[in-house]
Amino acid sequence: MPYDPGNVFARILRDEIPSDRVYEDDEVVAFRDIAPHAPTHIVVIPRGEPPTSPAELDDADAPWVGRLVVRASRIAAEQGLAHDGYRLILNCGAHGGQTVPHLHMHILGGRPLGPLG
């Protein structure tokens, strides 16, 4: 699927839509989700035009995707989630719950999240 530069995350990156940012660097921006599913719900998005979903990743993407996971873990720790735990989620496609065609990761925590399934 071709990248849509008008997607909501691209617009957040261009500051066309405000966001409650908790972290940003040269590679990623992290902000609080406007419809949280847990007391702490942060979305971590890569800058630029990443693949639209995890299904489009290939071996060449491994270094920056690894850094995305590391940054998300650091952000979770900075938010006080490391002691009790948290969940990192990459949704893929409509059946996986993905609503924005810009690869992104969710950090959820602040309460027991229960098992998956």
Q: Which neighbouring-strand residues pair with 23?
A: 30
End-to-end CA gap in the chain: 29
40-46 vs 86-89, strand pairing mode: unpaired
CA nearest to 88, candidates 22, 57, 42, 49:
42
Q: Is 104 a catalytic residue?
A: yes
> Per the residue annotation, which of 37, 95, 102, 104 is the catalytic one?
104
* Catalytically annotated residues: 104
